[in-house]
Amino acid sequence: MAAVGDAGVIGTVELVWRSRLDRTAEIGFVFNPDHGGRGLATEAAAALVNWGFTEFGLHRIYGRCHGRNAASARLMARLGMRREAHHVASYLFAGEWADQLVFAILADEWRSRPVAG
C-alpha cells in the first residue's frame, strides 16, 4: 500500500489461508509507525478482512501479535476482533521468550458490527 505523495510504501497487509476445511485465515500487517494516526492501517486491514469474508466465504479470521505490541492489539480491536488468547512466553523474539496475543472475528460478527460513518 502506498500513500499519496513521496511516502513510498508505508506498510503491507496479508491474508493467509490456514484451513480450507474450517474456512479460516490469518491476517498479518506491518506499518511504518511514522505514518500512524491517519487510519491507513485500519482501512487497509478492514478492506482485507471484508474481502476474505465476502469474496472467499471465510468463516473465521484471526491475527496474532507480540504481547507488548499495543498498536497492533488496538488495530485488531478496532476491526471488531476479540482477544481470544494470551500465550505466555510462547515464542522466542530477539533471543528472549515473548508473550503472544491472539485476536479473532467470525463472519457473522463482521457483518453485524457497527460501522462508523
Q: For residue 4, is it within any domain?
A: no
Distance CA(45)–CA(76), nearest Å, equals: 9
**Residue-by-residue pLDDT tens, the chain, 117 positions:** 444 455 678 889 999 999 999 999 999 999 888 877 788 899 999 999 999 999 999 999 999 999 999 999 999 999 999 999 999 999 999 999 999 999 999 999 999 987 765
Give the domain extent around 87: 11-112
Q: For residue 6, is it within any domain?
A: no
Q: Which residue type occupies 79?
A: L
Instruction: Give the domain CATH number at 97.
Output: 3.40.630.30
pTM for this structure? Answer: 0.87
**Terminal CA-CA length for the chain:** 23
